[in-house]
Structure 1
Amino acid sequence: MLITGENRESPAPGTALLLAAAPAGKGRLIDAASVLPALAAVPADVLAGTAGAAAATVIELADPLDPQTVLTRIRAAAASPGPLHLYLAGQLHVDRKQRQLHLALARTAPATMRYTALPWHWLAGELKTRRPGTTTVVLDLVADTEAWQQVTGGRLLLGDGTRTYGRIAPAPGRRTVAAPVHLKAVAAIWRSGARPPLPHLHEQAAAQSASQDAPDALLLGIAPSNAPSTAAAYAGSPLSHPSGHTSGPVHGHAAVPGPRIAPAPTDAPAPARADAHPVSLGATGADAHTANLAAEQHPAGLAAAGADPHPAILAAARAGRHDEAAAAAASCENEALRAHGPGSVQVLHWLEVRADLARLAQDPARSCELWMTAAEVRLGRQQTTDDPDVEAAVDRAHHQWEQIGDAARARQLAPALVALRRRVPGRQRGALQLLQRRLEQLHDHRAGTTPSAPAR
């Protein structure tokens, strides 16, 4: 179904893509398509986020069969320069071979997951190319056991420039089919004529659907104080932007929030590019609360006791005990080094955790240095210069470098960063030129000269 609203004054129309899919038969965990009539009754400009200010296009995909067809529609929608809103209702699974997340489609079955479901990284890859702040994703999903473990471990990543709202719940019990209660509540609010800001909209929807939702559902972009769930803060949300919003551009390139601390990789068989997932600084629910209380005693001791050290380290950092948190992370890194060797995924994980802890401690020079080291390690592992996680490490190093207040320290780190940026230009246009221009200003300041205006 295609709905087009006319507004000749807008050069960049908004787009809304409604994707509702679930396998037919016994494999169905959620009645995803049941939300489409309610969403279709919402004005197109509201769905597309233009609120009457621009033309709006709504694309509806109801129980599609072929992942390539779905990818083509997503790619076409992502190519639009205007606002893009994606509404996804369905269920998540992990394929048997590569252990990667997939969104099930109508013909998806466990044995054919890799060929009949939409790989989640396909979706993430299309959204990462868009200009930050122009993309909003609203999820209403259920996840089977393995997918739920990945979701709560921070694997459901859509890029730092994408606002994410909604809910993900563990799969219901046998012979039970869940309903997309959050999206239905969103549609009901809009159909009533109310137009609250997105964070408030989803808080209201969560409150309305609380009695029908799973008690341990993860709520995305919704303030914990208004959430009906003990796991209200989504484990994969950026720590610096818990509401799902990202910061604006900094000196012409997008600011990249720090990574998110999640459990380090294990020796279990890993999917292809298992090291490509950013680490996560976050924990939710009662387990996190217990770990936080234990962390008040000594996070390094907790790590040594065999418990997951991530919540304890985060609690120490949030409490301002940055030296203690850094020491615990360094201890974990040394243990990983002894167990797995230099350059291993496990050591890389803790290196990136330490980089983000330095950011939290407001030590941008140290954070920059560690992020550059992480990027070099990834390149040494034969990851390509356009690998999203190599680019993210360099972008974070660049962003942290720009926060350094000590000009001498910034000049000291600049040569290595310039060399790295030449190898990894990233997706933000002119990042290398901006870096060099900033370095010239630092040198001019040291020499006591006034920098010349850039040529037009």
Structure 2
Amino acid sequence: MPGTVLLLAASPLGRGRLVDAAGVLPVLAAVAPAVLSGTDTANVVELADPLEPQAVLTRLRAAAAAPGPLTLYLTGQLHLDRRQHRLHLGLARTTPATVRYTALPWQWIREELRLRSAADTALVLDLHADPEAWRHLTERGLDCGPHTAVYGRVAPGAGRRRPAEPVYMKTVATLLRSGHRPALDVLHQQALSRVPEETRGNLLLAHAGGYAPGFSTAGGFVPVPLPGAGGPVEGLPPAPPVPGPRLAESAVGPRGAGAAPGSRGADPHVAISDAVQGGRHGEADSVAARYEQEAVRAYGAGSEQALHWSEVRADLAMFAGDPVRSCRAWLAVAETRLGAGQAVDAPAVEAAVDRAHHQWARIKDTARARELGPALARLRLSVPGRRSGALENVQRQLGRLQAAQ
């Protein structure tokens, strides 16, 4: 099965540029696609200094939905949204005052990859962070999700008169031009050994997926917080504390039937991903539904554990080509989050309403669209989202549907 490679190099134009991100693309482009992917053949998508977050999201979503292994080579710089204190990847038009509207929320990357498994999903990163983002990272880490292998570095971007060079990614690309791609952990160590001075004091990310990602600096290992582990995961509120041996379960939902207490069996996300890629959509939804029911019984319907599986099922309905079921599920997720007291501009709430809107627009059955439209319009009144005119779009389309009765 062919792999997919997304080469994304992005940084703001002008004085806000911390790193010459696009400068790495010619070196990466000289590597054979199969070597970039680690598969026999691969499709490569290249994005150089993109302008619009939604355009990047569209390409990312398509890459994440493609069958087979996925590798993202991401070079750029991180900024902190001063209002919500969320990490964003700066794009060409990003300025400190417009991060919320012109940069790509890091949460979007995490969300688009969450249905994939670490066995076939990898991020290779060379990032620089502005001072506010750097402080955030040193306190909380960089959350790439539990189901993605991550290798690379984040460097502080302060105190430079000219944009820095993405030396880590250029070194990775140079190593790959030999025509051989070793295991990513080996490739990561080889790259670091070639540029020890340039990466001194950086945050070094190296984990093969699972449920305890972390990063290291010259001072040692620093854990990235997980739900219930004493700190919030980026973009999600803290879950209730989960005692020691059950920590791993809290990230994926309750144990499957028959699992020994305190043990974590096979990752259900892997089975779900395999079923989707094989076209067995009913089987995938059945697995997710079972975990959703167990999470509701164990933690409650409004818990992050249960909501995770509700969101998985909403995405599975999308993959199955059922926008009615997907829209209905995303509406329910948004209403549950708001009912639990989450803010109208919380990323998880905005994402749920945006996805409900996206799926509603794909519904061909006018009766079903009329049925779901009022609920979406009510949500849009309180959750307008980042794109201007979203509420007006729903109201206008709903008016057309009602006039057609």
Tell me which interval the TM-score lies in, with the shorter structure as reference length: 0.5 to 0.7
Match of 1:199 among 179, 185, 190: 185
Verify: 1:23 aligned to 2:15, yes or no: no
- What is the CA-CA distance between 1:403 and the residue it aligns to? 3.1
Q: Which residue of 419, 425, 446 maps to 2:297?
A: 419
Q: Distance in 1 between matches of 2:7 and 2:146?
A: 22
1:166, CA displacement in angstroms?
A: 0.3
Deviations, residues 366-394 of structure 1 (Å, cap 9, x unaligned): x69xx8xxxxxxxxxxxxxxxxxxxx55x
1:180 matches 2:166: yes
Task: Give the 3 Å change call, closer, same or farther, for CA 233–181 of structure 1 in structure 2.
Answer: farther
Alignment of 1:228-239 (within 5 A): 229-231=217-219, 233=221, 235-236=223-224
The residue type equivalent to 2:261 in the other structure is: I
Counterpart residue identity of residue 297, structure 2: A
Q: How far apart are the structure 2 equivalents of 1:416 and 1:26? A: 52
Distance 1:274 1:20, change over 3 A: closer
Indicate if the aligned counterparts of 1:132 and 1:162 stay in contact, CA closer than 8 A: yes
Q: How far off its partner does 1:259 sit? A: 5.2
CA distance in 1, matches of 2:235, 2:9: 30
The match for 2:123 among 129, 134, 137 is 137
How far 1:95 sits from its partner (Å)? 1.3
**What is the RMSD computed on CA atoms of the aligned residues?**
3.3
> What are the Cα deviations for residues 241-293 of structure 1, in whole angstroms up to 9, with x where unaligned?
xxxxxxxxxxxxxxxxx75846x57xxxxxxx97725xxxxxxxxxxxxxxxx
Map residues 390-409 of structure 1 onto 2, 5 A cutoff: 392=250, 395-398=252-255, 402-404=259-261
Residues 128, 158 of structure 1: 8 Å contact kept: no
Distance, in Å, in 2 between the alignment partners of 1:49 and 1:176 is 34
Q: Computing the radius of gyration over CA atoms, which structure comes out larger, 1 or 2?
A: 1
CA deviation after TM superposition for structure 1 residue 39, in Å = 0.5
Q: Is the 8 A contact 1:186 1:201 kept in 2?
A: yes
Counterpart Cα distance in 1 of 2:166 and 2:98: 25
Q: Deviations over 1:174-228 (max 9, x none)?
A: 4132111111111111113443221111001011111223x210111179xxx99
CA distance change for structure 1 residues 100 and 400 in 2, over 3 Å: closer, same or farther? Answer: farther
TM-score normalised by the chain length of structure 1: 0.53
How far apart, CA to CA, are the structure 1 residues paired with 2:13 and 2:84? 24
Change (3 A) 1:234 1:260: farther
Post-superposition shift, 1:170?
Answer: 1.1
Paired with 1:202 and 1:64, the residues of 2 have a C-alpha distance of 26
Task: Give the aligned partner of residue 32 of structure 1.
Answer: 21
Q: Which residue of 2 aligns with 1:64?
A: 50
**Match for 1:41: what amino acid?**
A
Q: Secondary structure at the match of 2:68?
A: coil
Matches within 5 A, 1:416-455: 419-420=297-298, 423=301, 424=306, 426=309
The code of the aligned residue for 1:204 comes to Q
- Report the equivalent of 1:83: 69
Equivalent in 165, 168, 172 of residue 151 of structure 2: 165
Q: Give matches, 1:202-213, under 5 Å.
A: 202-213=188-199
Go from structure 1 to structure 2 and tell me whether the alpha carbon gap of 1:275 and 1:37 turns closer, same or farther (over 3 Å shift): closer
Query: For the Cα contact (< 8 Å) 1:49–1:84, is it kept in 2?
Result: no
**Do the aligned residues in 2 keep the contact of 1:90 with 1:141 (CA within 8 Å)?**
yes
In 2, Cα distance between the equivalents of 1:400 and 1:201? 39
Q: Where does residue 31 of structure 2 map in the other structure?
A: 42
Q: CA deviation at 1:397?
A: 3.7
CA distance in 2, matches of 1:29, 1:80: 32
Tell me how far apart the structure 1 counterparts of residues 144 and 181 of structure 2 sit (CA, whole Å): 25
In 2: Cα distance, 1:416 partner to 1:44 partner: 42
- Residues 275 and 169 from structure 1, CA distance in 2 versus in 1: closer, same or farther, beyond 3 angstroms? closer
C-alpha change, 1:200 and 1:234, in structure 2 (3 Å) is farther
Q: Which has the higher contact order (CA 8 A, sep 6+)?
A: 2
What one-letter code is carried by the residue in structure 1 that aligns with 2:22? A
Query: Which residue number corresponds to residue 236 of structure 2?
Result: 276
Maintained 8 Å contact 1:91/1:143: yes
Q: What SS does the aligned partner of 1:97 have?
A: coil
**Residue 416 of structure 1, CA deviation:** 8.0
8 Å contact kept, 2:32–2:179: no
2:272 aligned partner: none
Q: Are 1:30 and 1:91, in contact at CA under 8 Å, matched by a contact in 2?
A: yes
Q: Secondary structure at the match of 2:77?
A: strand
Asked whether the 8 Å contact 1:219–1:233 carries over to 2, the reply is no
CA contact (8 A) 2:7 2:46 kept: yes
Residue 398 of structure 1 aligns to which amino acid in structure 2?
Answer: R
Shift in CA distance, 261/143, structure 1 to aligned 2, threshold 3 Å = farther
Q: Letter of the 2:124 partner, please give it.
A: V
**1:148: Cα distance to partner?**
1.3
1:219 counterpart residue number: 204
C-alpha change, 1:405 and 1:217, in structure 2 (3 Å) is: closer
- Aligned-pair CA distance for 1:400: 11
Instruction: Quote the Cα distance in structure 2 between the aligned partners of 1:68 and 1:135.
Output: 22
Query: What are structure 1's unaligned runs of at least 5 residues?
Result: 1-9, 239-257, 266-272, 278-344, 372-391, 407-414, 430-456
Quote the residue 1:95 is aligned against: 81
Q: Structure 2: state its 5+ residue gaps.
A: 209-214, 264-292, 314-405
Alpha-carbon deviations, 1:306-335, whole Å to 9, x = none? xxxxxxxxxxxxxxxxxxxxxxxxxxxxxx
Check the 8 A contact 1:220/1:234 in 2, yes or no: no
Closer, same or farther: CA 275–220 of 1 in aligned 2, 3 Å:
closer
Change (3 A) 1:111 1:200: same
